[in-house]
Amino acid sequence: MRRFSTVCSAWRQAILLVTVLLLAACAHAPPHNPLATWVKSPNQDVRRPVLIVVHYTDQHSAQQSLDTLRTANSGGPVSANYLIGSDGHIYQLVSDERRAWHAGPGHWGTITDVNSASIGIELDNDGHSPFTQPQIDNLLRLLADLTTRLHIPRTQIVGHQDFAPSRKPDPGPLFPWKQLADAGFGLWPQGTLIDPPAGFDPWMAMGLVGYPLEDRPAAVRAFHNHFRGIDGDTLDAEDLRILYNLAQQIESGSNTRTAG
């Protein structure tokens, strides 16, 4: 009798294990529309981000930001895929394939749902202090990893203000975009800047770069913070030279891709 009881117990445990495994498999299976017949195709992969957005936290510690990014705060729930502390420590809060809530309204070029198309990186910074070198060093390490592993173009790295210039100021004029460019990240003027030809349209060039133009003074402020680290909401001759240079890079890259 004792042996029979032991055998039954073993069978019950085996059945329980199989049940748990089946439930686990169902939990991880992709949802299927009940209106359709599921006929799986192997021609697929996970949705991939095509943009990286850099923010500053506008808070006073990494721990405060970790709390904000994991709770329903007064402004509504927000998150990011990554947070980099002032000491350079990298935290991940949302998986790369998941949609973090870091962008809000705005658009960059043809990307109108930035959250769905991007990786959000928050930097522990109060918005008024220089970014620390360990923080920037590890941001560069993270950018190298993400652009390589997720096949995100290295030029597709922007700030929050770039695509939401009427709402957001981050990462601000103190962010070292030139240092990122020297490491091969982000769109940046190349070679000698020259005056654009007659008839050059700077607004068309700004739109080509990606800037939203619904509020043009705000777009110029964002452009100035990113490319010149200065204030001001009107374009000057240096801005036109930079925009002409950037537009040429983009058009040259488009022609190369088309020819290939």
Catalytic sites, residue numbers: 122
Q: What angle do CA 206, 207, 210 make, to 5 degrees?
A: 95
> Burial, 95: exposed, middle or buried (Cβ in 10 Å; 0-12, 13-18, 19+)?
exposed
244 Cβ contact partners less than 8 Å away, ≥ 6 residues apart: 193, 194, 195, 196, 200, 205
Structure tokens at 110: 């043809």
Structure tokens at 93: 């809060």
Q: Regarding beta strands 82-84 and 90-92, do their DSSP bridges make them parallel or antiparallel, or are they unpaired? A: antiparallel
CB 207 within 8 A of CB 251: no
Structure tokens at 68: 């904000």
